Chain A
Amino acid sequence: MRVRARGWGWRHAGRQAWAVRALDLAIDPGERVLLLGASGAGKSTLMAALAGVLGGDDEGEGEGELLLDGSAPADARGRAGLVLQDPDSQVILARVGDDVAFGCENLGVPRDEIWRRVVEALEAVGLDLPLDHPSSRLSGGQKQRLALAGVLAMRPGLILLDEPTANLDPDGVREVRNAVVRVADATGATLIVVEHRVDVWLPLVDRVVVLAPAGGVLAEGTPSAVLERQGAALAASGVWVPGVPPTRSLRVREETALLLRAESLAIGRGSTLRDGIDVSIAGGRATAITGANGAGKSTLGLTLAGLLPPRAGAVVATDSLAAGAGTLPHRWKSRELLTRIGTVFQDPEHQFLAGTVRAELAVGPRALRMAPDLVDARVDELLERLRLAPLAEANPFTLSGGEKRRLSVATVLATSPRVLVLDEPTFGQDSRTWAELVALLAELLDGGSAVVAITHDAEFVQALADEEVRL
Chain B
Amino acid sequence: MTDILLPVRGTQAIYGINPVAKLGAAFLLGGCLILSIDWVSAAVALLLECALFLFAGLSARTFWLRTLPVWLAAPLTAATIALYGQTSGQIYFEFLFARISEGSLELALATLLRVLAIGLPSVVLFLTVDPTDLADGLAQVLHLPARFVLGALAALRLVGLFLDDWRSLELARRARGVGDTGRIRRTAGQAFALLVLSIRRGSKLATAMEARAFGAPIQRTWARESVFGARDWVLVALGGAIGATAIVCAVLAGSWNFIAA
- Chain A residues close to B by CB (< 8 Å): 48, 51-53, 77-78, 81-82, 84, 86, 88-95, 97-98, 101-111, 114-115, 118, 134, 136-137, 147, 150-151, 154, 269, 302, 305, 307-308, 333-335, 337-338, 342-343, 345, 347, 349-353, 363-364, 367-368, 397, 411-412, 415
Are A93 and B177 in contact, with the CB atoms below 8 A? Answer: no
Closest to A397 in B: B196
B132 touches A150 (CB 8 A): no
Task: For residue B40, give the distance in angstroms from its CB to the closest CB of chain A.
Answer: 43
Verify if B69 is at the interface (C-beta below 8 Å from A): no
A115 to B224, CA, bound (A): 10
**Which has the most chain A C-beta neighbours within 10 Å: B1, B153, B221?**
B221
Judge whether A95 and B132 touch: CB under 8 Å: yes
A92–B154 contact, CB under 8 A? Answer: yes
Which residues of B sit under 8 angstroms from A337, Cβ to Cβ? 174-175, 177
Is the beta-carbon distance between A98 and B173 smaller than 8 angstroms?
no
Residues of B186-228 whose CB lies within 8 A of A = 189, 193, 196-197, 200-201, 204-205, 207-216, 218-225
In-complex Cβ contact of B171 among A51, A118, A307 (8 A): A307
B157 engages A92 (CB within 8 Å): yes
The answer for the CA separation of A342 and B163 in the assembled complex, in Å, is 24
Asked whether A351 lies within 8 Å of B2 as measured between CB atoms, the reply is: no
CB distance from B68 to the nearest CB of A (A): 20
* CB neighbours of B168 from chain A (8 A): 345, 347, 350
Given contacts A134-B3, A136-B160, whether A147 and B208 have CB atoms under 8 Å apart is yes
From B165, B176, B214, give the contact of A106 (CB < 8 A): B214
Bound together, the chains give a CA A115 to CA B222 distance in angstroms of 11
Within the complex, what minimum Cβ distance (angstroms) separates A17 from chain B? 21
Task: State A101–B193 Cα separation when bound (angstroms).
Answer: 34
Min CB distance A351 to B, Å, is 4
Instruction: Give which listed residue, A81, A89, A106, A353, contacts B173 with CB less than 8 A.
Output: A353
The answer to whether A334 touches B225 (Cβ under 8 A) is no
Residue of A nearest to B215 (CB): A106
Judging by beta carbons under 8 Å apart, are A89 and B204 in contact?
A: yes
Chain A proximity of B82: nearest CB distance (Å): 39
A44 to B130, CA, bound (A): 36
Q: Which of B143-158 contact A (CB under 8 A)?
A: 153-154, 157
- Top 7 nearest A-B pairs (CB, nearest first) are A334-B179, A103-B212, A367-B177, A136-B2, A89-B204, A101-B223, A106-B213
Q: Specify which of A107, A136, A302, A347 is in contact with B216 (CB 8 Å cutoff).
A: A107
A77 contacts B177, C-beta separation under 8 Å: no
Q: A88-B161, A106-B220, A134-B6 are in contact. Are A150 and B212 (CB under 8 A)?
A: yes
> Smallest CB–CB gap between A207 and chain B, Å?
23
Interface check B234, CB cutoff 8 A: no
Residues of B within 8 A of A98 (CB): 132, 223-224
Q: Is B172 touching A345 in the complex (CB atoms < 8 A)?
A: yes
Q: What residues of chain B have their CB less than 8 Å away from a CB belonging to chain A?
A: 1-3, 5-6, 130-132, 153-154, 157, 160-161, 165, 167-169, 171-180, 189, 193, 196-197, 200-201, 204-205, 207-216, 218-225
Contact in complex: B175, A305 (CB < 8 Å): yes
Whether A53 and B210, one on each chain, are in contact in the complex, defined by CB atoms closer than 8 angstroms, is: yes
A103 to B213, CA, bound (A): 6
Inter-chain contact A107/B132, CB cutoff 8 Å: no
B218 in complex: contacting residue of A77, A89, A94, A353, CB < 8 Å: A77
Interface contact A351-B223, CB-CB below 8 Å: no
The answer to whether residues A105 and B222 also contact, given A81-B211, A136-B160 and a CB cut-off of 8 A, is: yes
Partner of B223, one of A51, A115, A349: A115
CA distance A101 to B223 in the complex (A): 7
* Chain B residues within an 8 Å CB radius of A114: 221, 223
Return chain A residues, CB-CB under 8 Å to B220.
Answer: 105-106, 108
> Of A84, A89, A97, A110, which is within 8 A of B221 by CB?
A110
Which of B175, B178, B197 is in CB contact (< 8 Å) with A343?
Answer: B175
Q: Knowing that A94-B157, A114-B223 touch, tell me 15 more A-B residue pairs with CB under 8 angstroms.
A: A51-B211, A52-B211, A86-B204, A93-B132, A106-B215, A118-B223, A136-B2, A307-B174, A334-B175, A334-B178, A345-B168, A345-B175, A349-B197, A367-B177, A411-B176
Chain A: CB-nearest residue to B202: A89
Sample (13) of A-B pairs whose CB atoms are under 8 Å apart: A81-B212, A91-B157, A105-B222, A134-B3, A136-B2, A333-B180, A334-B173, A345-B171, A351-B175, A364-B176, A367-B176, A368-B177, A415-B177
Chain B positions within 8 Å of A368 at CB level: 177
Return A157 CB to nearest CB of chain B, in Å.
Answer: 14
B175 touches A342 (CB 8 A): yes
CB distance from A166 to the nearest CB of B (A): 14
Q: Is there an interface contact between B223 and A105, defined as CB atoms closer than 8 Å?
A: yes
Q: Which of B161, B176, B208 has the most CB of A within 10 A?
A: B176
Find out whether the CB atom of A78 lies under 8 angstroms from the CB atom of B157.
no
Q: A363's closest neighbor in chain B, by CB? A: B176
- For A347, list chain B residues within 8 Å (CB): 168
Tell me which residues across on chain A come within 8 A of B223, comparing CB atoms.
Answer: 97-98, 101-102, 104-105, 111, 114-115, 118
Q: Contact: A397 with B173, CB < 8 Å? A: no
Partner of B6, one of A82, A94, A108, A305: A94
Which residues of chain B come closer than 8 Å to A335, judged between CB atoms? 177, 180
Distance from A115 Cβ to chain B, minimum over Cβ atoms (Å): 7
Determine the distance from Cα of A107 to Cα of B178 in the docked complex, in whole angstroms.
50
Q: How far is the CB of A246 from chain B (nearest CB, A)?
A: 28
> A388–B213 Cα gap in the complex (Å)?
39
Our pick among B6, B175, B193, B221 for the contact of A105 (Cβ within 8 Å) is: B221
Q: How far is the CA of A399 from the CA of B240 in the complex (A)?
A: 58
Decide: A353 near B178, CB < 8 A? Known: A107-B213, A136-B157: yes
